[in-house]
Amino acid sequence: MHDATPAAHATGSNFVGPTEVTAFRRDGFLIVRRLVDADDIAEIADHAQAILDGTLPGLAELIGRDPAGMTQADLAMASTRLHMLHRRRAEHERWLLHERLLDVLAILIGPDVLALQSMLFIKPPGSGGQGWHQDSLYIPTQPLSLCGAWLAVDRVDDENGGVWFAKGSHAEPVYPPAHQGDLAEWGESHIPGVPALGGSSDQRFAPVAERYPAVLGAMDPGDCVFFHGSLLHRSGPNRSRDRLRRAFVGHYCNARSFVGWGADIAVGNVHRAPITDPTTGMTNASHILARGDSHLPFRTAAFGTPCAADWSAEQRKMRSWLRR
């Protein structure tokens, strides 16, 4: 095993340069140290603590059960992984569209960035890990441009369930699901000879991952690892006695990629996007244009977080890389 982590240090507004871009394209991931300020990390930490304390307004809706009478351990297990809260809560939308995350993404996959998914992980002691997998199986984009941004809220290491990356494995195809019908997602089954391996925590991936160096993403609060959607990665169990492993994770793609995942639901004035294009199955109109421009549909931020979707078509056109 290896634990040397390629990293970029945030200085001023220049977070990533040619060396870091080369490392990302070679390795499939890049850790940017001290990317997000302590005040912003504290806001996420306080939010997660309010969930664990059972004091967050609207918590029952988020975890799908009444928190009254639940212990902190019960609440932790019920909120280990919370998906897509940026469609229901303003603070999650702000974190998903954090300027510093978008600064890096605009270099790595942009300059046109579509924000797709938000996740809040609260991993308490004793909770399990997740086996080797590829995120592009679950969030299909075409062309492949998916990128995850995993923002550490706590110190992250192997003891409390840190993430391991199979360095360079993003060069692998996206493997189709091993059990057809279990997943509505896709893989690159059109490539002759690609076996069906994919699936959450599927150990069929282990022989593939073992062909690559395994690198632990050891991080401090405010560090963020950006990783390619096809990169094999896994997380270990939290073996610590009393350490949480909290993280906020966003998934993004180039805004000019076709997306067939994550359709929004039109409800009142908050969820305004159409569900799915009835002809093509495209769901781009359900996702937020965070940076740049696109010839494809997109939505605005439901809670008013500033982003490129606010610009007029003419403003986007003038700022587009196509006009440089």
CA distance 86 to 302: 8
SS3 292: coil
CA distance 231 to 28: 6
Q: How far is CA 105 from the centre of its chain?
A: 12
Question: What angle, 0 to 180 degrees and rounded to 10, lies between the N-to-C axes of helices 18-27 and 99-108?
Answer: 70
Residue ranges per domain, the chain?
7-266
State how beta strands 141-142 and 29-33 pair: unpaired
Would you give per-residue pLDDT tens digits along the chain (324 residues)? 444 445 554 433 467 999 999 999 999 999 999 999 999 999 999 999 999 999 999 999 888 888 888 888 889 888 888 999 999 999 999 999 999 999 999 999 989 999 999 999 999 999 999 999 999 999 999 999 999 999 999 999 999 999 999 999 999 999 988 765 545 457 888 889 888 887 656 678 889 999 999 999 999 999 999 999 999 999 999 999 999 999 999 999 999 999 999 988 654 444 455 568 888 989 999 999 999 999 999 999 999 999 999 999 888 887 776 655
pTM above 0.85, yes or no: yes
**Is CATH 2.60.120.620 the classification given to domain 7-266?**
yes
- Which pLDDT score is estimated for 202? 67
Report in angstroms the alpha-carbon separations of 149 from 95, 96, 101, 244.
11, 9, 7, 19
Which tokens belong to 200?
């959450």
3-state helix, strand, coil in the chain (%, to 5): 25, 25, 50
**Cis status, amide bond into 18, omega within 30 of 0:** no
